[in-house]
């Protein structure tokens, strides 16, 4: 009886420290951050109740609108381009081409790098005095100009370029796994009926991969919303604050300007944005499992 009791209780004892640590250092600090966002905290944290004053200050700040606009631009382009390129590369690799393993590794390699490394590398590549523009000048194209990195209106698009370069290979892997999971008998039946390969992909295969599209969208949206290190390494939020995203905005106000309350309010808005993306996904997954 003692042995059976130990077998039943041992998994709980092993998992208990991890559960307690996660409860305190994740959920506990989320609740603490939420409380600080409703306090009058400034340079130092305060635990009084001040209502929505920090949120009023947050939305009154002009940088909030810039960060929100940049997030919309970055997330939209980042997600759409990654989905398009990932699907295109997956379809090409699904043709069982020679050297598929090498090509797949090359496509996936950027995902093995951290966003800090990616941002630093693309900062060198896009630097007008060091990278692509200088290379074109050295070749002989003296009038060529590509100054997006130092152009306040175009800087956010350099973040899109670097993000797509890193993440499109991962999306390709998701789509390739989905393509390899399609029942080949359905494809053969369509070919017997005279359907061309493009039509098979357009009418049968791609519509059947909606769960993969949805999963890729959720992952990419999560990456876009919490993007911080890529922006800091590539543009630093500049020129000025023209390439600010909510994560860099929160860091700037909470840790460099000493405005903890606004930083906490910004962090809570980011959390709500992530929840707005994840909750429908979880609901859809639970409903599909229930119906299954």
The model's confidence at residue 78, banded by pLDDT at 50, 70 and 90, is very high
Q: Around Cβ 205, how many Cβ atoms within 10 Å?
A: 18
Please give the structure tokens belonging to residue 31: 């609740």
Q: Which of 70-84, 93-107, 224-238 has the highest mean pLDDT?
A: 70-84
Comparing C-alpha atoms, which of 211, 183, 201, 171 is closest to residue 80?
171
| b (16+ CB within 10 A) / e for 51-89 | eeebbeebeebebbebbbebbebbbebbbebbbebbbeb
pLDDT per position as a tens digit, 210-224: 888 888 998 899 889
pTM: 0.86
Q: Around Cβ 104, how many Cβ atoms within 10 Å?
A: 17
62-291 sits in which CATH class? mainly alpha
Q: Is the pLDDT score of 114 beyond 90?
A: no
The model's confidence at residue 291, banded by pLDDT at 50, 70 and 90, is low
pLDDT per position as a tens digit, 163-193: 999 999 999 989 988 888 777 777 778 777 7
In this predicted structure, what is the pLDDT of residue 292? 58
Q: What percent of the chain has pLDDT over 90?
A: 22
């Amino acid at each position: 009886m003692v042995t059976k009791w130990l077998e039943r209780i041992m998994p709980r004892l092993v998992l208990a420290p991890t559960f307690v640590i996660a409860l305190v250092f994740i959920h506990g600090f989320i609740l603490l951050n939420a409380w600080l966002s409703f306090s009058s905290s400034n340079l130092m944290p305060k635990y009084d109740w001040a209502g929505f004053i920090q949120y009023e200050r947050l939305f009154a700040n002009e940088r909030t609108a810039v960060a929100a606009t940049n997030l919309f631009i970055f997330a939209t382009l980042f997600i759409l381009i990654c989905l398009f390129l990932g699907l295109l590369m997956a379809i090409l690799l699904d043709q069982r081409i020679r050297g598929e393993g090498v090509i797949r590794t090359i496509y996936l390699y950027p995902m093995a790098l951290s966003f800090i490394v990616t941002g630093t590398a693309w900062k060198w590549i896009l630097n007008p005095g060091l990278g692509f523009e200088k290379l074109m000048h050295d070749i002989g194209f003296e009038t060529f100009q590509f100054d997006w990195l130092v152009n306040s209106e175009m800087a956010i698009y350099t973040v899109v370029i670097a993000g797509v370069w890193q993440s499109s290979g991962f999306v390709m892997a998701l789509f390739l796994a989905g393509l390899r999971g399609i029942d080949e008998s359905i494809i053969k039946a369509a070919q017997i009926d005279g359907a061309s390969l493009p039509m098979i992909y357009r009418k049968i295969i791609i519509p059947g991969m909606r769960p993969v599209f949805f999963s890729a969208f959720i992952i990419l949206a999560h990456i876009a919303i919490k993007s911080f290190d890529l922006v800091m390494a590539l543009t630093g939020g500049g020129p000025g604050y023209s390439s600010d995203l909510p994560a860099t905005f929160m860091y700037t106000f909470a840790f460099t300007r000493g405005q903890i309350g606004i930083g906490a309010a910004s962090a809570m808005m980011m959390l709500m944005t992530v929840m707005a993306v994840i909750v429908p996904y979880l609901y859809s997954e639970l409903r599909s499992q229930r119906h299954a």
